[in-house]
Amino acid sequence: MRRRQLLTVLDCDANPLVRDPLTAEQAASVAALFKALSDPVRLRLLSLIASHAGGEACVCDLTPAFDVSEPTISHHLKVLREAGLVTSERRASWVYYRLVPDALTGLSDLLDATGAGLRP
């Protein structure tokens, strides 16, 4: 059985790499982004922000869409902000959230099956 496995490995025609694979540091960074997106509430929040004109939404526009408390929404928005997926800006008594296009482009490039790869 061992000889058969060895022959299979030696006979394998390996496909060449079409782009550089992730480094350990890049993998850790991207994993943090996916971890932030792995919660359904956070994923919906990101989608809601992206759905607003200009990719920006006031927290007062986001909270009514959920059956959770405002502090819970604030926590989820903080996780998205710390992951670098959204930015926030206080205007008077409201906070507005905006997508970070470069973060989304980086994820898109990673998932691109055409071989475009991650941007440096």
Q: Report the mean per-residue pLDDT for the chain.
A: 83
Residue 15 predicted with pLDDT over 50? yes
Residues 92, 51 contacting (CB under 8 angstroms): no
Sheet holding 94-99, edge to edge: 56-58, 94-99, 86-91
* pLDDT above 90 as % of the chain: 49
* Whole-angstrom distance, CA of residue 76 vs CA of residue 65: 14
Q: What confidence tens digit (pLDDT) does each residue in 17-46 have?
A: 667 787 888 888 888 889 999 999 999 999
DSSP-assigned letters across all residues of 53-105: GGGEEEHHHHGGGSSS-HHHHHHHHHHHHHTTSEEEEEETTEEEEEE-HHHHH
The 3-state DSSP class for residue 113 equals coil
Domains and CATH numbers, the chain: 23-111 (1.10.10.10)
What is the mean pLDDT of the segment spanning 69-85? Answer: 94
Residue 114 is given by DSSP the state T
